[in-house]
């Protein structure tokens, strides 16, 4: 949760791509502990049994926005899979954060480094 403490005070767009209530509970706990401020939360219906194609679900406009994004997913691997390597390379804001249903947090700058907190 140390990553979340460093990002406190910034305002984020929250994109919820989870399936279960338990996952959402863990993530909401992580977000409230960090005192994130949110512009808005969007709930996207996605297949949560495997990797999520961020470009397909979020599109070019989200990729190029300068607003930092909190991605809520059931498993970190669903958003950081090789399928999304180009998304993370081209993403306009490097302050994005991925939070999974197990309470794990990964900052966009650490994706690909194996630095899971």
**Average confidence score pLDDT of the chain:** 78
pLDDT tens-digit readout, 73-91: 888 888 888 888 889 988 8
Verdict on whether the full-model pTM lies above 0.95: no
Choose among 83, 113, 110: nearest CA to 2: 110
Question: What CATH number does domain 2-110 carry, 3.40.50, 1.10.10, 2.60.120, 3.30.70?
Answer: 3.40.50
Stretch 20-48: mean pLDDT: 68
- pLDDT for 68 equals 92
pLDDT reading at 26 higher than 60? no
Q: Determine phi and psi for 44, rounding to 5 degrees.
A: -105, 125
pLDDT reading at 100 higher than 80? yes
- Domain locations in the chain as residue ranges: 2-110
Residue 5, burial from CB neighbour count under 10 angstroms (0-12, 13-18, 19+):
exposed
SS3 at position 48: coil
pLDDT reading at 115 higher than 50? no
Between 3 and 45, where is the model more confident? 45
């Amino acid at each position: 949760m140390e990553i979340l403490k460093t990002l406190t005070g910034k305002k984020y767009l929250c994109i919820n791509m989870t399936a279960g209530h338990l996952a959402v509970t863990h993530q909401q706990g992580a977000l409230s502990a960090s005192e994130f401020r949110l512009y808005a939360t969007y709930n996207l219906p996605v297949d949560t049994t495997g990797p999520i194609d961020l470009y397909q679900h979020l599109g070019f406009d989200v990729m190029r926005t300068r607003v930092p994004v909190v991605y809520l997913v059931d498993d970190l691997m669903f958003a950081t899979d090789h399928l999304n390597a180009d998304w993370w390379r081209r993403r306009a804001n490097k302050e994005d954060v991925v939070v999974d249903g197990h309470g794990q947090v990964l900052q966009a700058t650490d994706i690909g480094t194996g630095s899971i907190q």
